[in-house]
Chains A and B, each alone.
Chain A
Amino acid sequence: MRRLLFLTATLIAVVCGGAVSITRAAPPHFEVMLLGFDAARHLLSRTGFAATPAEIDTFSRLTREQAVERLLAATDKPRVTPPPAWVTEPVTPASQVRTMSVEERQAWQRRNVARGLEMRGWWLQEMVATPSPLTEKMALFWHNHFVSSQQKVRQPQYLYRQNVLLREHALGSFGHFLQAIARDPAMVIYLDNASNRKGQPNENFAREVMELFTLGEGQYSERDIKEAARAFTGWSIDGEKGEFLFRSLAHDDGEKAVLGSIGNFDGDAVLDILLAQPQTAEFIVRKLWREFVSPEPDAVEVKRVANAFRDSRYDIRVALRALLNSDAFYAPKYRAALVKSPVDLVVGTLRQFQFTTTDVQPFALTVAQLGQNLFAPPNVKGWPGGEAWINSTTLLARKQFLDRLFNASDMRPAMMLAAPPLANQAVQGAPINAMRQRLMRAMAEIQFDSHGWLQRAGNEPAQLQRVVLAMAPQHALPATATGIDVIRRLTQDPVYQLK
């Protein structure tokens, strides 16, 4: 039953041809310009997770366009990790929740928490195992855009279904995506639209759809929000079935004025008005820029990509192509400009070094301890990311995690598990403790074949450095360092926190 899970699925295909790299030395008049090693590494670490030497080598022999098309084509591949069995169970009907005794309710909440942890484990495992890291990157990008949290939504089936929806639309039409997310039960619950009724509007969804999903702050008035909220009245859920339900009796079908347009708008009409604003394309592209390129978007480039995005009727692939095929994306000043998220650090390390383990799911807890609790972003704005990922606690926790992985320390595993990362209600204790136990076992038995890996990666310190780090290390390797010692030093270097 203990099936060995291969953490990276894609590495077997190509045998790395040693450490020889193809650099992009070709002068501009050459028709075919290949990426070369460093650019390929950059592309893979930004669009996915830290790549193996073999993966980098494969991509180094492609042109920019070929590389991006290959990444996009891979997103059509199906998921490889089966979800927990309960995801297809119907949600507990609201009427049943209301009549639960104290004990029943506690048991129900405990089950929700336990399942939420399983769901985090499922996603983490998929990120580690997927042949298409870009799929996971984009699903996570949208999870942090169309935020919903289990802390409020509670029943994990809702969030699983939302995750499936994020994947379905992640590289499709942003317009269709927006319409779907506005009807997504998890979102309806998370932003209180179930209580948005004619005569008693709840503005939460209307505010966030403008501020966080489309236009960005300052591009609308409070009046626009009030009017838009009326258009979304009646967009509710059927609490018995757990499905979206339009309650026509609760809908206000009167005239509304939103961003200069007047009419008897319903929710879809308001979404169309938002999509017609040029700010929407720019707002999304700026966010894509911060995810893929650098913390500070370049206004000219954003405009160019946003125009292409809007002209394509919001085809997300078009925006990605325009962004990833640009000179700006590969500009030296943006290399190593981004801080790795906890997911980047944990998943990237497990993938790049091809760790093997029988149980990768509890690493979702590590990711949470480092500040990225999947399915539970801190608030509707999502994780702020960037430098905010790094403080004294998280930096030491990152270093200690890496130290433990590469087995250089005699610290007891319990110490890295001392602080509970999740909510503090007593009801959550038992399932989290169980997951913590699993993490301790997983940390104890996880394997790194340093000998084989070093052979494949090339063994030569200067080349290892180019595989492992996005730029030269802060602390230069001593001339005497070899083998696993090089890896330990590089992964403890501050530059390892960058991508």
Chain B
Amino acid sequence: MNRRDFLSATAASSVLAWLPQPALAAVDYRKLLILIELKGGNDGLNTVIPYADAQYAALRPHIAVARDQVLQLDEFTGLNPSLSSLMPLWKAGELGVVQGVGYPAGNLSHFRSIEIWETASKSNEYLQEGWLTRAFDQSPVPRTYAADAVVVGSPEVGPFAGNGTRTIALTNTEQFLQQARLAVGAGQAHNRALSHILRVENDIVQAAANLNTNHVFRTAFPQTGFGNAVRTASQVIASKAGVAAIKLSLNGFDTHSGQTGTHTNLLKTLADGLAALKAALSELGRWDDTLIATYAEFGRRPRENASGGTDHGTANAHFVLGGAVKGGLYGARPAFDRLDGNGNLPFAVDFRSIYATVLERWWGVSAVAAMRGRFTTLDVLKA
């Protein structure tokens, strides 16, 4: 009996029954979570644009998006025009925009800050397990699933790091199935290290046995790396045995110089990929039970630098989308009048509030253990 089995057994029996629990719906991993990492630190201010704030243009004389170009969400805030593929979602009330997401004592190192996000640690603590590993440890995903989580296009398992989570990383499903032939996955062992290896090998075998490569979609996926990742994710979702979470990533947001062209392309790639993902999920009848959320290590500094780019910042804007999302603006607009000593923004929404929302309101899993504390959830989901 491994630790996961033990936990699932005890959760069902008396140990947890008498503990005070917040009122949660029954745990439901048929609801899918898709995380999208915007690697390098997306410039939230040129993504979700406070176009009516005069300081926005003043801080960014060369790279500010012109007011008349912005796709207006309300009289104050708009989207970068290269996100036009997201506008149908906004109009359908299925796109939530959370502004001012960050954490106390923001770290400006890519490596450290993404680790803070992915482990949901405090700025000065180092945790080994990803935040979803802790959540799945507490409320296990059914063993019948192909895997707990699939990471597409990157070997870094991020939020699923640490032992216990059945995470499969793959670039495309066919290649994974070919590699997986090397896994045999049989037997048990008394040796602790060996039993861990056998468990991982078994996970590979189980995933390989349950993943599709051949669902035919009507959706036209964009001919980009990210479009391919969306196609792979859709293929995974089309498999009969489910997964609880999928992580995708889009690279290249570390725009220190000559930002505008690069950023425009990245945002278009992102939005077109998301639109294709919505189409594929709708085809599969999964749009209403899928929640998509973006994240990144940090946002970027409000004032542009001397190279037509932006440096590492703190608070950032993120998206949540899906058929169950209550569209609209959340969080707080950028407070340009309250920049810190580095010229960075104060945050308004702790990123762990978004995670707590996923755990408690989406899946019905208590967030206290996974978040190592209580964080207010956001009212971004339809009842």
Contacts and interface: CB of A to CB of B under 8 A. Distances in A.
Interface of A: 102, 106, 149, 151-152, 295, 336-339, 369, 378-381, 384, 386-388, 390-397, 399-400, 403, 411, 415, 418-419, 421, 423-426, 471, 474-475, 492, 494-495, 497-498
B171 A396 contact: no
Contacts of B115: 378-379
A494 B204 contact: no
Nearest to A419: B155
Interface in B155-191: 155, 157, 161-163, 166-169, 171, 175, 178-180, 182-184, 186-187, 189, 191
Contacts of B111: 149, 151, 378-379, 423
A388 B162 contact: yes
A393 B157 contact: yes
Contact of B110 (A400, A418, A423): A423
Contacts of A369: 155
B126 interface: yes
A474 B189 contact: yes
A387 to B, nearest CB: 4
Contacts of A102: 257, 307
Given A336-B191, A391-B167, A474-B187, A494 B201 contact: yes
B200 A391 contact: yes
Contacts of B187: 474-475
B191 A498 contact: yes
B196 interface: yes
13 contacts: A295-B192, A336-B191, A337-B191, A379-B112, A387-B163, A390-B196, A393-B155, A395-B183, A396-B180, A396-B183, A424-B40, A475-B184, A492-B184
Contacts of B69: none
What are the 7 closest A-B residue pairs judged by CB atoms, nearest first?
A: A393-B169, A399-B182, A387-B196, A102-B307, A419-B155, A393-B155, A494-B197
A492 B186 CA distance: 13
Contacts, number: 122
B201 A339 contact: no
A384 B128 contact: yes
Nearest to B196: A387
B246 to A, nearest CB: 14
Given A386-B193, A492-B182, A395 B204 contact: yes
Interface residues of B, number: 49
A108 to B, nearest CB: 14
B275 to A, nearest CB: 24
B225 to A, nearest CB: 11
A395 B208 CA distance: 14
B252 interface: yes
Contacts of B182: 396, 399-400, 403, 492
Contacts of A388: 128, 161-163
B254 A396 contact: no
B112 A392 contact: no
A378 B113 CA distance: 12
B194 A392 contact: no
A492 B153 CA distance: 25
Contacts of B157: 391, 393
Contacts of A411: 178-179
Contacts of A390: 196-197, 200
B154 interface: yes
A427 B34 CA distance: 29
Contacts of A381: 126
A395 B197 contact: yes
B251 interface: yes
Nearest to B150: A392
Nearest to B111: A151
Nearest to B255: A426
Q: Select the residue from B161, B168, B196 with max chain A CB neighbours within 10 A.
A: B196
A421 B155 CA distance: 7
A400 B196 CA distance: 19
Nearest to B307: A102
A403 B178 CA distance: 13
A456 to B, nearest CB: 28
Contacts of A415: 175, 179
Given A387-B196, A388-B163, A492-B184, 7 more contacts: A378-B111, A379-B126, A390-B200, A391-B157, A392-B169, A395-B204, A399-B183
Given A102-B257, A379-B126, A498 B198 contact: no
Interface in B199-227: 200-201, 203-204, 207
